């Protein structure tokens, strides 16, 4: 019975995670702890194993559709790997609990903001990010199959990658749910490219996460297998829904991401409560 429930929950989380480009790990961990009584270490390790097949399935489809930007993925992921190391060291010197609470509130507020403003037409000619994105390290990226072009600032994107990685290492959560909205709102990357790129990055982070948690003994394969299958099916379902809803594009994606951020902020807060048991 538990395996069937895990399977059904996994499909729901994976489908939504594929739609918003987060993967779903930030939602899965609190659910496993609250409703399935997983120890926190086992919940994190299990979530890592579940994310891999979903990210692989999505990335295969996105590779065929030529919607992954590998330059953006590299600019974000390599600094993020360094950031996770920095974050892990900062844990010993910072008031992590207070920062986690503030961070979860911040993410929730950003999600509400994106949800409230997704219908507003954004002016690309204003704001600090517009000016920063035209500094000397900026360049134009073109996706010819999708007939899309956008400007990137390599140094600025690497800095954001370092920040999201540090947050991941400091708070013990994945940074993917921050990378997608940053790509869309800060760098004006089209949502289909941002979501596909974020899911591709998740393949790399899942592999490294599974390796470390396996050696630490935080993976129970009997519990992981139903979720791995569920997340793979959820990725297929999410891809099918996106295919049927292709006409709504950017605005609907930002709406879903806003909902996802809001839920992620709440999930992080639940994670904190369960971890520290107020």
The one-digit pLDDT tens for each residue of the chain (278 residues) are: 788 999 999 999 999 989 888 878 888 888 888 888 888 778 888 888 999 999 999 999 999 999 999 999 999 989 988 888 787 677 667 776 787 788 788 888 888 988 887 666 555 555 566 666 666 778 889 898 888 889 888 899 999 999 988 877 766 566 777 888 889 888 889 988 999 999 999 888 888 778 877 887 888 898 899 999 999 999 999 988 877 665 445 667 778 888 988 988 888 788 788 777 65
Calpha distance 232→223 (Å, rounded): 15
Contact status, residue 28 vs residue 234, Cβ threshold 8 Å: no
Q: Total domain count for the chain?
A: 1
DSSP state of 141: E
- Please state the pTM of the whole predicted model: 0.83
192: number of Cβ within 10 Å = 20
Kindly state the greatest CA–CA separation across the chain.
58
**Phi, psi dihedrals of residue 141, rounded to the nearest 5°:** -110, 135
Q: What is the residue range of 156's domain?
A: 2-276
Angle between helices 25-36 and 40-64 (to 10 degrees): 150
DSSP-based three-state secondary structure for 148: strand
């Amino acid at each position: 019975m538990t395996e069937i429930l895990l399977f059904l929950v996994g499909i729901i989380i994976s489908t939504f995670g594929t739609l918003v480009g987060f993967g779903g790990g930030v939602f899965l961990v609190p659910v496993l702890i609250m409703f399935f009584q997983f120890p926190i270490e086992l919940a994190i390790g299990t979530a890592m194993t579940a994310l891999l097949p979903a990210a692989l399935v999505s990335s295969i489809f996105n590779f065929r559709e030529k919607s992954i930007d590998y330059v953006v993925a590299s600019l974000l992921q390599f600094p993020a790997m360094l950031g996770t190391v920095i974050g892990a060291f900062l844990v010993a010197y910072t008031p992590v609990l207070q920062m986690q609470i503030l961070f979860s509130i911040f993410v929730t507020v950003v999600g509400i903001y994106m949800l409230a403003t997704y219908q507003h037409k954004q002016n690309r000619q204003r704001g600090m990010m517009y000016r920063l994105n035209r500094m000397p390290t900026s360049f134009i990226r073109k996706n010819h199959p999708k007939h899309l072009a956008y400007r990137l600032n390599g140094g600025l994107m690497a800095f954001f990658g370092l920040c999201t990685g540090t947050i991941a290492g400091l708070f013990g959560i994945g940074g993917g749910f921050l990378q997608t909205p940053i790509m869309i709102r800060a760098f004006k990357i089209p949502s289909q490219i941002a979501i596909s790129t974020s899911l591709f990055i998740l393949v790399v982070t899942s592999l490294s996460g599974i390796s470390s948690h396996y050696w630490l003994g935080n993976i129970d394969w009997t519990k992981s297998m139903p979720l791995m299958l569920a997340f793979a099916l959820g990725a297929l379902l999410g891809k099918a829904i996106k295919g049927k809803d292709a006409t709504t594009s950017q605005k609907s994606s930002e709406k879903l991401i806003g909902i996802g951020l809001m839920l992620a902020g709440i999930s992080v807060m639940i994670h904190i409560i369960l971890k520290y048991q107020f």
